[in-house]
Structure 1
Amino acid sequence: MASAAEQLAANMNIGAFAKATELHKRLWFTLGALIVYRLGTYIPIPGINADAFAAAFGQSQQGILGMFNMFSGGAVQRMAIFALNVMPYISASIIVQLLGTIYGPWEKLRKEGGEAGRKTLNQYTRYLTVVLALAQSFGIAIGLQNAQGLVDHPGIVFLLSTVTTLTGGTMFLMWLGEQVTSRGVGNGVSLIIFAGIVAALPGTIANLLGLAQQGQVSGFALFTIALLLIGAIFFIVFMERSQRRLLIQYPKRQVGNRMFGGESSFLPLKINTAGVIPPIFASSLLLLPTTAAQFLAGPNAPEWAQWLTPVTSTLHHGQPVFIALYAALIIFFSFFYTSIVFNPEETAENLRKYGGFLPGIRPGKRTAEYLDHVLSRLTAIGAGYITLVCLLPETFIARFGNNLAFGGTSILIVVSVTMDTVGQIQSHLLAHQYEGLIKKAKLRGARGR
């Protein structure tokens, strides 16, 4: 028999959406915030020769800059005030999360601090974001100033203005993302990255149609690409919603003359616990040598950097060596990051504290071993799934070149963020319907009196 929540979800329609005025406000706020973000990606930092920088970027977009440009919606290509995007914030969040598992004081805050500990760690994340943004913006400013013809008036004023502008842009986007999370719909930071990736979709379609007009891509190939993309989306949705639910039982206990407990619940384990972190780490690590070689290229390049040229020639999208290393690194980071975000020993200890146990398995060490056994097999499936999704676009890049401005990581992010946002919209609609039912019940009770 369906639960009350499932019955309400089945009865949701356009009329229910039209009556949810609070949801309308949240959606308009989210849309306005994303429009502000997109406008900021077209405002260049002061002192840049836009034409010279666009020409220079066209020669170096094979490296990590191309990936950052994709996530920022073209802001790096235009060297806009939001060129750093929210990448320093994401890096800071990952660092704080990793340190929260190995650094004693932060681990105590994470485990025992409750809401206050979470707020403290969030504040540390903001501080670290400032440090990373300052370091990255200073490196960008130095690189731009040292490049010939990219800066109109090099000097200390340009360095200060660039560092201030890029760092301020990142901090503004971090604040904007937090505002969207609290006052809008969905995760604000994820939606900002989502908007940047989706902004490149029209250009990708135009490139494909251009290739078709030139005869480089047949109509059958276009149909195959569209069919595989739709299939990949359905496959991602299926895998992201899949989970292994472990039955947890709680023993009965008697307090006075009454019996408590005896309930059962489920511990859901996702197939893809690591999310989109493994492909991001893998692609960043592989593209670093290419980016370094591009920055060091030229007549004045140091002798020790010359060995990078033959190495980086094989580390491009679509190359066999890149594909093989990409797959290996995705699998490695899937297991590594899953071991960071999910601790079987900690979960088993929490179950023991609250009296829960897995049927047929002794609490404590045996439960931790069983959780690790199940999680390892789920991670193997998840790593294979992420690798398959990320390598599929690489085959098209090998065939059609880098004219296709999308990758497996982009598809994963877009689908995951869309699922999360739609889920939150449904939650708001359910809450609105519950409020309506409560009001009707109160009115009936008042009339009955």
Structure 2
Amino acid sequence: MLTTLKNAFKIKELREKILFTFAMLVVIRIGSQLPVPGVNGEYFRNWFAAQSGGAFSFFDAITGGSFINMSILALNISPYITSSIIMQLLTIAIPKLEEMQRDGEDGRKKIAAITRYVTVGLALVQSTAMAIGFGRQGYLIQYNALNVICAIATLTAGSAFLMWVGERITENGIGNGISIVLVINIISRLPEDLGNLFQQFVFGKAPATAVLAVVIIFAVIIAMVVMVIILNDGVRRIPVQYANKVQGRKMVGGQTSNIPLKVNTAGVIPVIFAQSLISLPGYISSFAGYSGTGVWSEILRYLNAGNWCNPSQIQYSVGLLLYIAMIIFFAYFYTSITFNPLMIADNMKKQSGFIPGIRPGKPTSDYLNKVLNYIVFIGAIGLTIIAVLPYVFSGVFKASVSFGGTSLIIIVSVILETMKQVESQMLVRNYKGFLEK
């Protein structure tokens, strides 16, 4: 990775793209420190401290601390991520959107425009809920119409601005803009999280204990990174043979290809879906100002990730079992709506292609389904292990960190993808230079 960056800086065009991306990231970090006008920052920090380990911990991690600071970028790109997922699901369900997606570049531009409008709409809804819900509890210095409108407008504009920055990085920077914005937010929290771990397990301990703690901390991090890389790069290649056929006076075909089926077909989406759903009751209760007792309060304790894997309250780990089941379910669900074995089998049949030993048509579709179900299960188990391990360490050892397995999956996946994009741009430039010579 360092070699790739070093070689990229030698090329003027790529160097300018990297510096532009870096400048945009600096702007984002500055924006993360600018508070929303009229907000009582001290109240919000105290409120968030009481919620530690609950529904908002992951949300604060992916916003890079903007949420806890209640900055103008507090909503960050979460509305854009949500709208992108919604549009991806609607593309499968609505024929008109599916037709747009098949229209090539023009169709993708139309879908991107719709996604922007949905993003602004979601940001408006979320900012309104925060301004009104938290405003009644002391979130605003003065709870009046002017401050509420100001907070809503500022938070919505901040989210729209970040969406614009992500698109500029995609067009004028090194690409993968929205993902890079998300990753820099998560990475910005790592020094504080590592500081908390060292403060808790290393500083003030006996030398032998401190050294052992450092080794264990970095061993766990490295092991999880390796697991994410293996899961991200794991591919099952299905061989495909194309039959010979005569076109004019020539014999064409006879080529061998393959269908690459990723082990982690759904990516990090199942974990995000599961976390969003299991945290939803906590969000609603926080916005509504609910802090009572009773059945609902007990349910919230089961769904609170801060109570999972706690030896003194092991009964609340039932919520973790629900979380695991949701990850596996969404892995199969998301794969089923984004990968169509029947369509692939039909396309192969039209092109005179077949899988060796498998008849074309429905037998091919059934075979792909069987293989897909097998590798999706492996991918879902891998995702579950990576997503659950931080909760285990947090519950058993009280290791307090804002990022978890989901954050690690996002960081590693985006860095690998970005490096591949930089390498491809370098390769294209080398080809262009060769042709010009």
Q: Does 1:425 align with 2:415?
A: no
Q: Does 1:62 align with 2:53?
A: yes
Distance in 2 (CA, whole Å) between partners of 1:133 and 1:281 is: 18
Summarize deviations over 1:23-80 as a string: whole Å, max 9, x none. 1111111111111111111111110111122111211243322211110001110111
Taking the TM superposition and a 5 Å limit, the aligned residue runs for 1:197-276 are: 197-211=186-200, 212-215=202-205, 218-276=210-268
Distance in 1 (CA, whole Å) between partners of 2:124 and 2:284 is: 20
Select the residue among 184, 192, 217 that pairs with 2:181.
Answer: 192
User: Structure 1 stretch 274-283 or stretch 426-435: which is displaced more?
Assistant: 426-435
TM-score between both structures, scaled by the size of structure 2: 0.91
Query: Which residue number corresponds to residue 82 of structure 2?
Result: 91
Distance in 2 (CA, whole Å) between partners of 1:174 and 1:40 is: 13
Letter of the 2:250 partner, please give it: R
Select the residue among 168, 182, 194 that pairs with 1:179.
Answer: 168
3-state SS of 2:400 partner: coil
Query: Which residue number corresponds to residue 118 of structure 2?
Result: 128
Q: Does 1:21 align with 2:18?
A: no
User: Structure 1 stretch 115-124 or stretch 209-218: which is displaced more?
Assistant: 209-218
Cα displacement (A) at 1:278: 1.0
In structure 2, the CA distance between the partners of 1:340 and 1:13, relative to structure 1 (3 Å rule), is: closer
Cα displacement (A) at 1:118: 1.9
Select the residue among 52, 64, 83 that pairs with 1:73.
Answer: 64
What is the number of residues matched between the two proteins? 424
Cα displacement (A) at 1:115: 2.3
Cα displacement (A) at 1:295: 4.4
Unaligned runs of 5+ in 1: 1-8, 441-449
Select the residue among 412, 425, 433 that pairs with 1:436.
Answer: 433
Select the residue among 347, 359, 375 that pairs with 1:350.
Answer: 347
Contact 1:186 1:420 in 2 (8 A): no
Cα displacement (A) at 1:95: 1.0
Letter of the 2:233 partner, please give it: R
Summarize deviations over 1:98-122 as a string: whole Å, max 9, x none. 1111222222323x42222222222
Query: Which residue number corresponds to residue 30 of structure 1?
Result: 21
3-state SS of 1:248 partner: strand
In structure 2, the CA distance between the partners of 1:174 and 1:17, relative to structure 1 (3 Å rule), is: closer
Percentage of pairs with the same residue: 38
Summarize deviations over 1:121-153 as a string: whole Å, max 9, x none. 2222111112111111111110132113x3122
Query: Which residue number corresponds to residue 277 of structure 2?
Result: 285
Distance in 2 (CA, whole Å) between partners of 1:374 and 1:298 is: 47
Contact 1:293 1:308 in 2 (8 A): no
Letter of the 2:391 partner, please give it: E
Cα displacement (A) at 1:361: 2.1
Instruction: Note the aligned Cα RMSD (angstroms).
Output: 2.2
Letter of the 1:312 partner, please give it: L
Cα displacement (A) at 1:273: 0.7
Query: Which residue number corresponds to residue 142 of structure 1?
Result: 132
Unaligned runs of 5+ in 2: 310-316
Contact 2:58 2:402 in 1 (8 A): no
Select the residue among 328, 331, 334 that pairs with 1:331.
Answer: 328
Select the residue among 271, 289, 300 that pairs with 1:312.
Answer: 300
Distance in 1 (CA, whole Å) between partners of 2:169 and 2:297 is: 44
Distance in 1 (CA, whole Å) between partners of 2:350 and 2:158 is: 45
Contact 1:81 1:165 in 2 (8 A): yes
Distance in 1 (CA, whole Å) between partners of 2:380 and 2:43 is: 42
Query: Which residue number corresponds to residue 410 of structure 2?
Result: 413
Cα displacement (A) at 1:373: 0.9
Query: Which residue number corresponds to residue 313 of structure 2?
Result: none
Cα displacement (A) at 1:14: 8.1
Letter of the 1:73 partner, please give it: G
Query: Which residue number corresponds to residue 105 of structure 1?
Result: 96
Query: Which residue number corresponds to residue 445 of structure 1?
Result: none
Summarize deviations over 1:395-423 as a string: whole Å, max 9, x none. 21013325222211011011101101111
Distance in 1 (CA, whole Å) between partners of 2:29 and 2:353 is: 48
Distance in 2 (CA, whole Å) between partners of 1:135 and 1:293 is: 17
3-state SS of 1:64 partner: coil
Distance in 2 (CA, whole Å) between partners of 1:292 and 1:128 is: 21
Letter of the 1:308 partner, please give it: W
Letter of the 1:330 partner, please give it: I
Letter of the 1:261 partner, please give it: G
Letter of the 1:179 partner, please give it: R
Distance in 2 (CA, whole Å) between partners of 1:171 and 1:101 is: 26
3-state SS of 2:89 partner: helix
TM-score between both structures, scaled by the size of structure 1: 0.89
Summarize deviations over 1:260-319 as a string: whole Å, max 9, x none. 3322222111000111111111122222223334445568x6xxx742211222333333
Distance in 2 (CA, whole Å) between partners of 1:275 and 1:367 is: 25
